[in-house]
Amino acid sequence: MLPALSVEIDGGVLQPHRLFMAQPDAVWLEIGFGGGEHLAAQAQAHPEVGFIGCEPFINGVAQLLQAVERNSLENIRIFPDDARLLLDALPEASVDRCFVLFPDPWPKRRHQRRRIISPDTLDALARVLRDDAVLRLASDHKEYIRWMLFHTIGHGAFDWQARGAADWRERPPDWPATRYEEKAATRGVDSIYLAFRRRPRG
């Protein structure tokens, strides 16, 4: 199934709405979908939305493909490579929502430059997200949460949507759980949920 669902980058500008047989009302992006539980659940709940999932590890891609086949999902496309390559190929203001859930925290200081949430990636996300688009981040690694908040709030293109502690301590009902979150809960570790909105372009 992967060849039929795979997103190809040929050096030009990728038009995400054209990836789907039926024109979607919106395009949502998930960076690092892991086993695909969240992505598949969102696609099933929102058949009117086109989903692009990025995941370089083939085991996760295979698990998502099983969910696509099992649930007859027609609104998922897969980029089985580094998400930053896809971001570079997308046109400005072409994505309506983005999820980066439980990415590798790269906890050692010498590896922190590999973190997906970085000034460069936030620049790319600010470019491809539409005005008022939602960016959702999550992690069970507290130092990485601080890193996410520091860089995303400091970037200037994103407003943190939290109004109280429950907004980051409790997963919203329209936010399906991932296996990484469940593993953290098994270890007795709380997860943190961050929602940002892309500020309108001035």
The catalytically annotated residue of 82, 88, 96, 104 is: 104
| Catalytic residue list contains 104 | yes
Give the position of tokens 């539409």. 130
Half-sphere exposure (CA, 13 Å, Cβ side) for 100?
22
Secondary structure (DSSP) of 31-92:
ES-TTSHHHHHHHHH-TTEEEEEE---HHHHHHHHHHHHHHT--SEEEE-S-HHHHHHHSPT
3-state SS class at 14: coil
Q: Are strands 158-160 and 192-198 parallel, antiparallel or unpaired?
A: antiparallel
Query: Which residues share a beta bridge with 99?
Result: 30, 136
Q: How far is CA 193 from CA 23, 131, 181, in A?
A: 31, 21, 11
Q: Hey, which residues are catalytic here?
A: 104
